[in-house]
Amino acid sequence: MSQTPPVRPDTPCVAVCSTTFDDVCRGCGRTVVEVSQWVFMTQEEKDVVWERILAEGYPRRQG
Protein backbone atom coordinates (compact mmCIF):
# COMPACT_ATOMS: atom_id res chain seq x y z
CA MET A 1 0.00 0.00 0.00
CA SER A 2 1.54 3.33 -1.04
CA GLN A 3 1.41 6.35 1.20
CA THR A 4 -0.07 9.60 -0.02
CA PRO A 5 2.54 12.36 0.14
CA PRO A 6 1.79 15.09 2.70
CA VAL A 7 0.01 18.17 1.41
CA ARG A 8 2.32 21.14 1.86
CA PRO A 9 2.56 24.66 0.50
CA ASP A 10 4.78 25.17 -2.56
CA THR A 11 7.45 26.69 -0.32
CA PRO A 12 8.14 26.85 3.42
CA CYS A 13 8.63 30.63 3.16
CA VAL A 14 6.61 32.61 5.71
CA ALA A 15 7.86 36.05 4.60
CA VAL A 16 10.13 36.43 7.65
CA CYS A 17 13.33 36.33 5.62
CA SER A 18 16.67 36.69 7.34
CA THR A 19 19.09 35.03 4.89
CA THR A 20 20.71 38.38 4.14
CA PHE A 21 22.06 38.34 7.69
CA ASP A 22 21.89 34.64 8.73
CA ASP A 23 23.08 31.36 7.23
CA VAL A 24 19.73 29.79 8.18
CA CYS A 25 16.50 31.73 7.74
CA ARG A 26 14.74 32.43 11.06
CA GLY A 27 11.36 32.16 9.34
CA CYS A 28 11.50 28.98 7.29
CA GLY A 29 14.63 27.24 8.57
CA ARG A 30 16.21 26.78 5.16
CA THR A 31 19.84 27.54 4.43
CA VAL A 32 20.83 30.33 2.04
CA VAL A 33 21.61 27.70 -0.62
CA GLU A 34 18.26 25.94 -0.11
CA VAL A 35 16.37 29.23 -0.46
CA SER A 36 18.25 30.20 -3.62
CA GLN A 37 17.96 26.76 -5.21
CA TRP A 38 14.39 25.90 -4.13
CA VAL A 39 12.81 26.43 -7.57
CA PHE A 40 15.43 24.15 -9.15
CA MET A 41 15.16 21.29 -6.60
CA THR A 42 13.44 18.02 -7.36
CA GLN A 43 10.42 17.09 -5.27
CA GLU A 44 12.55 14.49 -3.48
CA GLU A 45 15.13 17.14 -2.54
CA LYS A 46 12.37 19.45 -1.31
CA ASP A 47 10.87 16.62 0.76
CA VAL A 48 14.22 16.10 2.52
CA VAL A 49 14.38 19.81 3.38
CA TRP A 50 10.74 19.81 4.55
CA GLU A 51 11.37 16.84 6.85
CA ARG A 52 14.39 18.54 8.42
CA ILE A 53 12.82 21.94 8.95
CA LEU A 54 9.60 20.49 10.37
CA ALA A 55 11.65 18.37 12.81
CA GLU A 56 13.47 21.56 13.86
CA GLY A 57 10.20 23.41 14.53
CA TYR A 58 10.02 25.49 11.37
CA PRO A 59 8.44 27.31 9.63
CA ARG A 60 7.97 29.97 12.31
CA ARG A 61 5.82 33.04 12.01
CA GLN A 62 6.89 35.89 14.23
CA GLY A 63 4.08 37.83 15.76
- Break the chain into its structural domains and give their ranges: 12-63
Secondary structure (DSSP) of the chain: -PPPPPP--S----S---TTT-SB-TTT--BHHHHHHGGGS-HHHHHHHHHHHHHTT------
Q: What is the pTM of this model?
A: 0.83
**Digit-coded pLDDT (tens) for 2-55:** 666 678 889 999 988 888 888 999 999 999 999 999 999 999 999 999 999 999
